[in-house]
A and B are shown apart, each in its own frame.
Chain A
Amino acid sequence: MVDAVLSRTVSPPSSDAVTSIARHTRNLPVWVWLISIVLLPNLLLVGVSFLKVSNGLLVLQAGVTTYLRLWHSASFAELLGRTLGTSFFAACIGLLIAYPMGYYAARVVQRNQALAVVLVVIPLWISLLMRVFAWRMILGQNGILNSFLVSSGFISTPSSAFLYTPFAVLLTYVYIAIPYIFVASFTALEKIPQSLIEASQDSGASSLQTFRHVILPLSLPSVAIGVSLAFLTTVGDYVTPSMVGGLDGTMLGTVIASQFGVANNWPYGAAVAVVLMLGAALVLGLIIAVSRSRGILTGDEGARPRPMGIALTGSQRLLRVAGFLCFCLPYIFLYAPLLVMVLFSLNDSKVQAFPLQGFSLRWYRELWTTPGLLEAVQRSLVVAAFVVTLSTIVGTGFALLIHHSRSRILHGCEFLLAFPIAVPGVVLGITMVLGMQLLSVPQGIPRIVIGQSSFVMPVILLIVLARLRRLDPAILEASLDSGAGPLRSFIYVLLPMIRNVIIGGALLGLTLSVDDVMVTLFLSGTEPTLPIWVWNQMRFGFTPSVNAIFTLVGAVSLILVGFFSRLVEQR
C-alpha cells in the first residue's frame, strides 16, 4: 500500500505501473508454455535418469548407477557409435547426392525450376512410415530386389542380405535425408548473386576455383542446417531400425522406446535418452563449427542470375551431361519406392512380387471392413484439428509477442521454445510422457494433442517470426500514423500480410500431426491414431491393405498440399 503510494509519487505517470503489469501478464502464456511443455519434461527426463528400478517399481533412490552401467557397457558404446555414425554417414551420403542436385536445380535449370523443387519435397509430405515401409517391400526376401535378381539369374535363391541389416537402415536414412539437404542447398545456391560469380571469373578464377572460393563457402552455412535437420530426424528414429534394421541394425532409438514400453525401465531409458541427446548435440556442434562462415550477404551485391546463352566447350558439355544425370537419377531413387507401393496396392495378389497378378481394388474395399481403421482415421483428424488450431493460435500469438517485445529475455525464449524441434524424436516422445504423467493429463486425445503441439507450435512460431522480421517496420508505423489503433492495424494491415505464412505454417503442422509416430506412440495408449494403428498392424503381420492405406494417405496429403499452395499463390 505504502509502496504503491510511494511509487506513484516517485514515478509520475501511474500508467507506467499498469503497463508494466500488463506487459508482464501479456508474456505470461509464453512462460507457462515454456515451463510446462519445454523445461519441466526435460528436467524430469534428467531427473528420472538418476532414479532406480527395483522389482518393477520406480524407487526414489538417486544415484549415477545407471550412467555408470552405461559407461562400462561395451555394447552400449558400440550402439551409441552405430546410432550417431549411421545417421551422420547417411546425412553425408545425402549431401553428396542432394548438393549437386540442388546446384543443378538452382543454377542450371531455367524453366520449371519450381517443379524440380516440389518434386523433391513431395516425399517429405508423405508419411515417414510409408516411405520406410516401401523400402521394406523392395528389400525383403520376397521383395522386388530379390525377385529381380533371381529372375535375371544373378542369384539362385532369394537373399536375406538386404532387409534387416544396418545397410537397410542406412539406405532408408539416406532416402529420408535427401529432401532436407536438397532444399537447404537449393535455397542457399539460388541466393548467391550472379555478380559475385562474375566478379570471381573477372578476377581470373576458373569455374573450379570460383566454386571452391566463392560458391561453396557461401552455401555452406545453409547446407549445414539441412544436414543437421536430416541428422536429427534420423538419429531419434526408431521406426526405421525396427522395420528394416533387424537385430544388427538396432539403434538407440529402439532401445529407448522399448525401455518405455515392454521393458518398462524408465530410469535406464531416460539415461540412454540423455546420452543420445548429448551425443547428437556434439555431432551438431561439430557440423556447425565446420561450416561456419563469416560475413553476411547485405542484399546489394547484385541481382539474381539472368539466363546466359554462352556456348559451351566440349569438356563443359560433358560436365553438363554429368550434372544432368546427377540431377535426374536421384528422382528415380526418391519415387521408385512410392510407385512400387501404389502398384502393389492395385495388385490382385497377397504376394509382394513381380510379375503383377492383375488389377484389383480389393485391398481398398477391404479397408472399409477392417475393424478399428475408420476409428483411427477419425481420431487422427480430430487430433490434427486440435493440434493445428492450438498451435496456429499460440504460435502466431507468441511470434507477435516476441517480435514486438523489447525484452531481451523474451528474445532468448525463442530458442528455448524451439528446443523440442532439435530433440531427437524418440526423446521428445518420452519427455512428453514424463511431463504429462506428472501433470496428470488424461490418457488419449488430450495427451496426443499436447504432445504433438510441443513440436508443431514452434514450427509455426519460427515461420511466422521469420516473416514478421522481413516486414518493413514502417508499414505498421504508417498504419498507426493513419489513425488506426493497434487492434485495427493488426486486422487490416499486419494480418493480411502474414496470412499466407500462417496458412502455410498450419498446413505444415497438419501434415506433421497426421504423420507423427515418434511422439504419438508413447501417448496414444489404447486409442491409436492412423499411423499408430498401421504401425501396430505391421508388427502383427503384413496385409496388402497397408499399401492401399498409404496410397490413400499419400494422395490425400498431395491433394491438400496442392490445394493450399494454389490458395496461397492466388492471394
Chain B
Amino acid sequence: MAVEYPLTEADVSQPILSLNKVNKTYPGGDKPALDRVSISVMPREFFSILGPSGSGKTTILRMIAGFEQPDRGNVVLDGRDVTGVPPFRRDVRTVFQSYALFPHMSVLDNVAYPLKMAGMPKAERIRAANEALDLVSMQDFPARLPHQLSGGQRQRIALARAIVGRPKLLLLDEPLGALDLRLRQQMQHTLTVLQREIGIAFVYVTHDQGEALSMSDRVAVMRDGRIAQLGAPQELYFRPQSEFVAQFVGRSNLLSASIGREGDEYIARIDGLAQPVRGIPARSQGAAKIAVRFESVQLQPLRTQEDCSRGFPGVVEDVLFMGSSLEVAVRCGDLRLIASIASGSGLVRGQDVAVQFDLQTCAVFHG
C-alpha cells in the first residue's frame, strides 16, 4: 500500500534518498556489480559507502547521479522515483574523483556553470558563485584557469561547483584520493564543517576506512556488490558482523580457534597458543575466527618468567614507531600478533612480555 505524504523541508523523518533492491550487471560482466542493494539517506546526513575497489561503491554513486541505470529496483530522490531520469534533470551534484573541472573555463565560470544551465541571470549567478568560492576559501583567484591551480585548490573548486546550486544531495567520489596526507586531513575538517553549514546530505564514497569513520553519521560497508554491514561508525568498529568488516574497518588480528564450553563460560583454544582463553563473547561451540583489534592487545613488560599470571608469555619481534603510538609485533608460541600501544611504554626488540586481550572488544565469527 502506497501512502502519499506531503513532503516539506522540515520533514526530517523522510529519507532524502532511497535505493530499493537495486541490481546492476554490466554488459559482459558475469557477476552483478550491485546485488539487491537497499540504502536510505536522511536529510542532513553524512552517509559513507566504504569498500575495496571493485566492490560496487562507485556504481551506486553513478546510479544515484543518473549515469547508470539499475537493471532492477528503483532510485527515489526526495519522495520522487527518478529511475530513468537523465543526470541533468536530477537535483543531485557530484564531486568527481578527478575533479572534472572544465579546462577552458575560469574558476568562476566553472563554479557558475550549474547556475548558468539552470538559467540564472548573470549578475545573480556570479554573486552566488563568489559565495560558494568563499565557502571553500577560494575567493582569491576567480579568474584563474584550472591548470594554474594546485591539486588541493582544484579539489575546492570542484566542491564549490557542486554546492553552488544547493542540491538536495551531494555525491562525493573518493574526492580526497589524489591529495597528500596533510591536505587530506585538512579537507576532512573542511568537508564536515561545510556539510553542517549548508545542511545538504552527503553521500561519500571511499576506500579509506579512516575517512569514513571520522566524518560519517552512518557507513555502509560494501563487498562484491552487496552491503556487508550498515551502521554508525562505532557500531562497525566495535561490533563487526563479519570477518570481512572486522578486517576492513580498523585493523585486527584474525585468530583461528575452536570454542568450547565450561559451565556458563566459553573458552577458546586459539591455534598456536598453549593456554586457552576464558570469557570469550561467543554464542556457540565449534570452529570460529576471533578478531582482536590491534589496540585490544595489551602488553606488559615481564621482569621474571613467573610474572606471567596475567596473560600469555610472548617475545617482542619488532617495534614500529607511529608517532602517538607504537605498533608491536609479538610472538606467542606459534602465534604472531600485532599490538598497538601508547608510545613511551619503552618496549624493545627481544623483550619478554605478557600478552592480554581486551575480551569486551573481541568479535567472534562462527564458521
A interface, CB within 8 angstroms of B: 193, 195-196, 198-206, 209, 213-214, 217-218, 293-298, 300-303, 307-311
Q: What residues of B have a CB within 8 angstroms of the CB of A300 in the complex?
A: 98-99, 178
Query: When each residue 90-128 of chain B gets 1 if its CB lies under 8 Å from chain A and 0 otherwise, what string results?
Result: 001110111111111110000001101110000000000
Most buried by B among A203, A205, A206, A311: A203
Q: How many whole Å from B296's CB to the nearest CB in chain A? A: 40
Q: What residues of B have a CB within 8 angstroms of the CB of A296 in the complex?
A: 103, 145, 147
Q: A199-B101, A302-B100 are in contact. List 14 more A-B contacts (CB 8 A).
A: A193-B98, A196-B103, A198-B65, A199-B96, A201-B66, A202-B94, A203-B93, A203-B165, A213-B113, A217-B104, A295-B146, A301-B103, A309-B26, A310-B69
Given contacts A198-B87, A310-B69, whether A203 and B117 have CB atoms under 8 Å apart is yes
Measured in the bound complex, the distance between the Cα atoms of B155 and A300 in whole Å is 12
- Chain A facing B: main interface SS: loop
Q: What residues of A have a CB within 8 angstroms of the CB of B147 in the complex?
A: 295-296, 298
B interface, CB within 8 angstroms of A: 26-27, 65-69, 84, 86-89, 92-94, 96-106, 113-114, 116-118, 145-147, 161, 165, 178
Pairs of residues from A and B, 5 with the lowest C-beta to C-beta distance, nearest first: A302-B98, A203-B114, A199-B100, A295-B103, A195-B100
Q: What residues of A have a CB within 8 angstroms of the CB of B96 in the complex?
A: 195, 198-199, 302
Q: How many whole Å from A9's CB to the nearest CB in chain B? A: 48
Q: What residues of A have a CB within 8 angstroms of the CB of B98 in the complex?
A: 193, 195, 300-303
Contact in complex: B114, A204 (CB < 8 Å): yes
Measured in the bound complex, the distance between the Cα atoms of B145 and A213 in whole Å is 16
Contact in complex: B102, A205 (CB < 8 Å): no
Contact in complex: B88, A206 (CB < 8 Å): yes
Q: What residues of B have a CB within 8 angstroms of the CB of A301 in the complex?
A: 98-101, 103
Measured in the bound complex, the distance between the Cα atoms of B99 and A371 in whole Å is 68
Complex A-B: 15 CB contacts under 8 Å: A195-B97, A198-B65, A199-B101, A203-B93, A203-B113, A203-B165, A204-B114, A213-B116, A218-B102, A294-B104, A295-B147, A296-B145, A298-B146, A302-B98, A307-B27
- Of B27, B92, B102, B161, which is within 8 A of A309 by CB? B27
- Of A199, A303, A310, A311, which is within 8 A of B94 by CB? A199
Contact in complex: B103, A298 (CB < 8 Å): yes
- Of A205, A218, A308, which is within 8 A of B103 by CB? A218
- Chain B facing A: main interface SS: loop
- Of A193, A202, A310, which is within 8 A of B93 by CB? A202
Q: What residues of A have a CB within 8 angstroms of the CB of B165 in the complex?
A: 203-204
Given contacts A295-B147, A298-B146, A298-B147, whether A202 and B65 have CB atoms under 8 Å apart is yes
Measured in the bound complex, the distance between the Cα atoms of B353 and A140 in whole Å is 101
Measured in the bound complex, the distance between the Cα atoms of B288 and A565 in whole Å is 60
Contact in complex: A295, B88 (CB < 8 Å): no
Q: How many whole Å from A460's CB to the nearest CB in chain B? A: 30
- Of A196, A202, A303, A307, which is within 8 A of B102 by CB? A196
Measured in the bound complex, the distance between the Cα atoms of B103 and A218 in whole Å is 8
Contact in complex: B145, A294 (CB < 8 Å): yes
Measured in the bound complex, the distance between the Cα atoms of B96 and A304 in whole Å is 14
Contact in complex: B67, A308 (CB < 8 Å): yes
Q: What residues of A have a CB within 8 angstroms of the CB of B118 in the complex?
A: 204
- Of B67, B88, B102, which is within 8 A of A214 by CB? B102
Q: How many whole Å from B173's CB to the nearest CB in chain A? A: 10
Closest A residue to B101 using CB positions: A301
Q: What residues of B have a CB within 8 angstroms of the CB of A193 in the complex?
A: 98, 100
Most buried by B among A193, A198, A204, A209: A204
Closest A residue to B146 using CB positions: A295
Q: What residues of A have a CB within 8 angstroms of the CB of B105 in the complex?
A: 294-295
Measured in the bound complex, the distance between the Cα atoms of B148 and A296 in whole Å is 9
Measured in the bound complex, the distance between the Cα atoms of B244 and A129 in whole Å is 70
Closest B residue to A221 using CB positions: B104
Q: What residues of A have a CB within 8 angstroms of the CB of B103 in the complex?
A: 196, 218, 295-298, 301
Q: What residues of B have a CB within 8 angstroms of the CB of A294 in the complex?
A: 104-106, 145
Q: What residues of A have a CB within 8 angstroms of the CB of B94 in the complex?
A: 198-199, 202
Q: How many whole Å from A195's CB to the nearest CB in chain B? A: 4
Q: How many whole Å from B105's CB to the nearest CB in chain A? A: 7
Q: What residues of B have a CB within 8 angstroms of the CB of A311 in the complex?
A: 69, 84
Most buried by A among B67, B86, B92, B100: B100
Given contacts A300-B178, A308-B67, A311-B69, whether A202 and B99 have CB atoms under 8 Å apart is no
Q: What residues of A have a CB within 8 angstroms of the CB of B146 in the complex?
A: 295, 298
Measured in the bound complex, the distance between the Cα atoms of B77 and A408 in whole Å is 59
Given contacts A296-B147, A302-B96, whether A201 and B104 have CB atoms under 8 Å apart is no
Q: How many whole Å from B223's CB to the nearest CB in chain A? A: 23
Given contacts A308-B67, A311-B69, whether A201 and B88 have CB atoms under 8 Å apart is yes
Q: What residues of B have a CB within 8 angstroms of the CB of A298 in the complex?
A: 103, 146-147
Measured in the bound complex, the distance between the Cα atoms of B146 and A196 in whole Å is 13
Contact in complex: A199, B102 (CB < 8 Å): yes
Q: What residues of A have a CB within 8 angstroms of the CB of B114 in the complex?
A: 203-204
Closest A residue to B164 using CB positions: A203
Measured in the bound complex, the distance between the Cα atoms of B69 and A199 in whole Å is 17
Q: How many whole Å from B298's CB to the nearest CB in chain A? A: 45
Q: How many whole Å from B20's CB to the nearest CB in chain A? A: 20
Measured in the bound complex, the distance between the Cα atoms of B104 and A214 in whole Å is 8
Q: What residues of B have a CB within 8 angstroms of the CB of A206 in the complex?
A: 88, 117
- Of A195, A200, A302, A309, which is within 8 A of B113 by CB? A200
Measured in the bound complex, the distance between the Cα atoms of B86 and A206 in whole Å is 9
Most buried by A among B67, B161, B165: B67
Closest B residue to A309 using CB positions: B27
Q: What residues of A have a CB within 8 angstroms of the CB of B66 in the complex?
A: 201
Q: How many whole Å from A110's CB to the nearest CB in chain B? A: 11
Contact in complex: B100, A205 (CB < 8 Å): no
